[in-house]
Amino acid sequence: MTDTRAPLEAPEGTRDLLFEDARRLRSCEAAVGRVFGEAGYAEVVPPVIERSELFAEVASLRATDSTGRSLSLRADFTDQIARIAATRIKGTTPLKLWYRGPVVRDVAPGRIAPRERFQIGLELIGDASPNADVEVLSLAASAIEAVGIAADDVRISVGSTTYFAAVLAVAGTAPAIQAQLRDCIDRKDRAGTARLASSVADANARDALLFLASAEPQTQALSTARSLAPDEAAARAIDRLQAIVEAARARLGDRLEVDLGEVRGLGYYTGLVFNVYASGAPGPIGGGGRYDRLLARFGDERPAVGFSLDLDALAPLARSEGGR
């Protein structure tokens, strides 16, 4: 006899949010949304499916529709907002948008990143100034405050993809070695970085690679980075980051940390990148950065900067008096 029951288990990497968990998620979402709204950002609701080609940087979950076209579940909001801004809202600058909803990625089950995450975030489009970067960093801090997480329990670490890329470029190694260097630096593996860097001819570039893999004291990180800058663009990137950090510190204080070796995240970032950490969560609970060339995919030259938070990572940390 055939068993006519449906499979009982939900797909790996997903969760059912019941009762209190659901309430917490929604109240955090509401608290953060209020912060974004009060800061002058307007909500947009992008579709949950897109043409697969939109998600160039991430592994999306795909299906083929009846016309043979490949469609993907939303794998990244920023790609969608870039499409919408570039094709629908060209006239308004600066453009301030926020969004919320689930994001699905085709990650291997069992890894620390679940397949489905609930995100909330914003994008500031059309403002290339350091002020825009500071505004986004400040709003990330405000969003976390709004759910009732104490400032002491939060760190926002900032880096620069421009600087990182310049150092790797000057190291001038083969692509396979570059990938290994990225990996070693990402893991703060100084010994491994030193081994790989030993084949780099330029002494300054060797020092810069080791610096990226090290934990420089906060007071010195930017000045060391400046002195090791391999070219003019990298030096300018540090000057800009310094201006951003100085301005943002007024609002964020010691929550803000500089780590030029931490440039995880999607390949579309073109300058500032940052990750948000909170006590009680084992990895970043959100992050963002500047992506000045993403809208150009749709023929729009406007620069942009933004961030998102993982609500399902944030909600369990929220104090009840926070997200009402």
Partner 1 sequence: MNLTIALAKGRLLPEAVKLLARAGVLPAEDLAKTRQLVVDATDGAKLLILKDPDVPVYVERGVADLGIVGVDHIRESGCDVLEPLDLALGRCRLSLCAPGPKERPLEALPGRALRVATKYPALATKLLATKGLGIEVLRLQGSVELAPVVGLADAIVDLVETGRTLAENGLTERERLLDVSGRLIANRASWRLKMPAVQALIAAFGDPS
Using CB under 8 A as the binding rule, whether residue 175 contacts partner 1 is answered as no
Using CA atoms, how far residue 287 sits from 13, 136, 193, 279, 284, in Å, is 21, 11, 25, 15, 7
Residues 234-273 that bind partner 1 (CB under 8 A): 257
Residues 41-100 that bind partner 1 (CB under 8 A): none
Q: Which of 26, 188, 226, 297 binds partner 1 (CB under 8 A)?
A: 188
Using CB under 8 A as the binding rule, whether residue 284 contacts partner 1 is answered as yes
Residues in contact with 94: Cβ distance below 8 Å, sequence separation at least 6, in sequence order: 124, 125, 126, 127, 132
C-alpha–C-alpha distance, residues 287 and 277, integer Å = 9
What minimum distance in Å lies between the beta carbon of 106 and partner 1?
16
Q: Which of 165, 177, 235, 281 binds partner 1 (CB under 8 A)?
A: 281
Candidate segments 67-75, 133-141, 278-286, 304-312, binder of partner 1 by CB under 8 A: 278-286
Candidate segments 128-136, 164-172, 183-191, 234-242, binder of partner 1 by CB under 8 A: 183-191
What minimum distance in Å lies between the beta carbon of 194 and partner 1?
8
What minimum distance in Å lies between the beta carbon of 289 and partner 1?
17
Other CB atoms within a 10 A radius of the CB of residue 203 amount to 8
Q: Which lies closer to partner 1 via its Cβ, residue 160 or residue 193?
A: 193
| The dihedral sign for the CA sequence 263, 269, 273, 274 | negative
Q: Which lies closer to partner 1 via its Cβ, residue 115 or residue 155?
A: 155
C-alpha–C-alpha distance, residues 160 and 288, integer Å = 11
Q: Which of 30, 169, 192, 227 binds partner 1 (CB under 8 A)?
A: 192
- In the sheet that holds 62-64, the strands lie side by side as 49-51, 70-73, 62-64
Q: Which of 21, 57, 145, 153 binds partner 1 (CB under 8 A)?
A: 153
DSSP state of 10: P
What minimum distance in Å lies between the beta carbon of 278 and partner 1?
7
Candidate segments 40-48, 163-171, 233-241, 281-289, binder of partner 1 by CB under 8 A: 281-289
What minimum distance in Å lies between the beta carbon of 285 and partner 1?
9
Number of residues engaging partner 1 in binding (CB under 8 A): 22
Q: Which lies closer to partner 1 via its Cβ, residue 152 or residue 246?
A: 152
Q: Which of 282, 320, 321, 324 binds partner 1 (CB under 8 A)?
A: 282
Residues in the chain: 324
What minimum distance in Å lies between the beta carbon of 277 and partner 1?
5
Ordered DSSP codes for 130-194: HHHHHHHHHHHHHHHHHTT--GGGEEEEEEEHHHHHHHHHHHT--HHHHHHHHHHHHTT-HHHHH
HEC readout, 46-109: CCCEEEHHHCCCCCCCEEECCCCCEEEECCCHHHHHHHHHHHHCCCCCCEEEEEEEEEECCCCC
Residues 123-152 that bind partner 1 (CB under 8 A): none
Q: Can you read off the two tokens belonging to residue 283?
A: 């990895």
Residues 194-223 that bind partner 1 (CB under 8 A): 194, 215
Q: Can you read off the two tokens belonging to residue 103?
A: 């994001």
Using CB under 8 A as the binding rule, whether residue 15 contacts partner 1 is answered as no
Q: Which lies closer to partner 1 via its Cβ, residue 191 or residue 203?
A: 191
Q: Tell the residue number behind the tokens 């006899």, with chain if given.
A: 1
List of residues contacting partner 1 (CB under 8 A): 111-112, 153, 155, 157, 187-192, 194, 215, 257, 277-284
